[in-house]
């Protein structure tokens, strides 16, 4: 586990949204890890699905608990509570945020990213939700710092060598090319290339070059595309 693990976890906790009032936070106290918060305990005893009001109350209580975690808290502690919010509070914004935070935890709190776990939770997220006001549902958001479940999922696929899953994603939306960002053309071509669909890869590399003609910001990617086209056409 990384030396700066605790700092990374706490930064992730403070990363976005849903401010927690200091007075409410103090009411839980640092002992919250040893003894369950009564609100959390009571709400978890209720049968699923919880009402929206109960989901909001549970999510808020859990986020307060996590913000009060001490420096010795392990990643598994945060993981447990993020998953509770994801499972028991699915209709709340905090559920969306928990997917983001847990992905960040799996990425940064260990010596190596837990890519298999990232795939599992982000595939679930994208199956469960078609829209979000918390994260971007685009692979390449207009604002670069916005978390994209699709982009992070594809990074995990790449790390695991599951290029076919990236291809499958683009195969489904290839008919919606008008909505592609320029990077989608390159990503699709690269995934096709690595999945062995070389003829299709050439087509999409060429589309990328056409779309980015005169764009100095992607010169390096253009060089890669040109080199790959030459190599693939030799085969």
Dist CA 172 CA 163 (whole Å): 15
In a domain, 16, yes or no: yes
In a domain, 224, yes or no: yes
pLDDT value for 28:
37
Q: What is the mean pLDDT of residues 49-76?
A: 96
In a domain, 183, yes or no: yes
pLDDT value for 9:
53
pLDDT value for 34:
64
In a domain, 14, yes or no: yes
Per DSSP, helices labelled H in the chain are 5-14, 22-28, 38-44, 52-67, 75-88, 93-108, 115-128, 149-160, 163-173, 182-194, 198-211, 219-234
pLDDT in tens, 15-51: 444 443 333 333 333 434 468 999 999 999 999 999 9
Q: What is the mean pLDDT of residues 212-232?
A: 97
In a domain, 46, yes or no: yes
Find which of 1-5, 91-95, 141-145 is predicted with most confidence, using mean pLDDT: 91-95
Q: Mean of the per-residue pLDDT values for the chain?
A: 89
**Do residues 18 and 109 both lie within one domain?**
yes
Prior bond of 114 cis (ω within 30°): no
**Do residues 99 and 15 both lie within one domain?**
yes
User: Which residue would you say has higher pLDDT here, 139 or 24?
Assistant: 139
Element (H, E) at 212: none
In a domain, 148, yes or no: no
Flag whether pLDDT at 192 surpasses 70.
Answer: yes
Flag whether pLDDT at 14 surpasses 50.
Answer: no
Q: What is the mean pLDDT of residues 88-103?
A: 98
Dist CA 207 CA 213 (whole Å): 10
Cβ of 49: how many Cβ atoms within 10 Å? 12
Q: Which two tokens stand for residue 93?
A: 């914004």
**Do residues 189 and 108 both lie within one domain?**
no
**Do residues 193 and 97 both lie within one domain?**
no
pTM of the model: 0.85
**Do residues 27 and 108 both lie within one domain?**
yes
Q: What is the mean pLDDT of residues 132-145?
A: 94
In a domain, 12, yes or no: yes
Number of compact structural domains in the chain: 2
Q: What is the mean pLDDT of residues 162-190?
A: 97
Dist CA 21 CA 17 (whole Å): 12
> Whole domain around residue 209: which residue ranges?
175-234
């Amino acid at each position: 586990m990384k030396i700066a693990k605790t700092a990374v976890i706490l930064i992730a906790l403070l990363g976005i949204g849903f401010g927690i009032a200091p007075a409410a936070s103090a009411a839980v106290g640092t002992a919250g890890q040893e003894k369950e918060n009564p609100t959390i305990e009571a709400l978890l005893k209720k049968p699923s699905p919880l009402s929206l009001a109960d989901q909001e109350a549970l999510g808020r209580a859990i986020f307060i608990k996590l913000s009060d975690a001490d420096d010795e808290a392990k990643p598994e502690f945060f993981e447990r509570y993020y998953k509770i919010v994801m499972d028991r509070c699915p209709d709340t914004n905090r559920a969306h945020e928990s997917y983001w935070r847990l992905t960040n935890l799996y990425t940064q709190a260990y010596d190596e990213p837990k890519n298999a776990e990232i795939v599992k939770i982000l595939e679930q997220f994208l199956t469960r939700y078609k829209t979000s006001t918390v994260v971007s549902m685009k692979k390449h958001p207009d604002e670069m710092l916005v978390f994209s479940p699709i982009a992070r999922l594809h990074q995990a696929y790449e790390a695991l060598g599951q290029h076919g899953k990236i291809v499958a994603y683009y195969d489904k939306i290839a008919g919606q090319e008008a909505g592609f960002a320029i990077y989608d053309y390159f990503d699709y071509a690269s995934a096709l290339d690595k999945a062995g669909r070389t003829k299709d890869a050439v087509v999409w590399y060429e589309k990328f070059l056409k779309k980015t003609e005169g764009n100095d910001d992607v010169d390096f990617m253009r060089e890669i595309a040109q080199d790959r086209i030459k190599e693939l056409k030799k085969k």
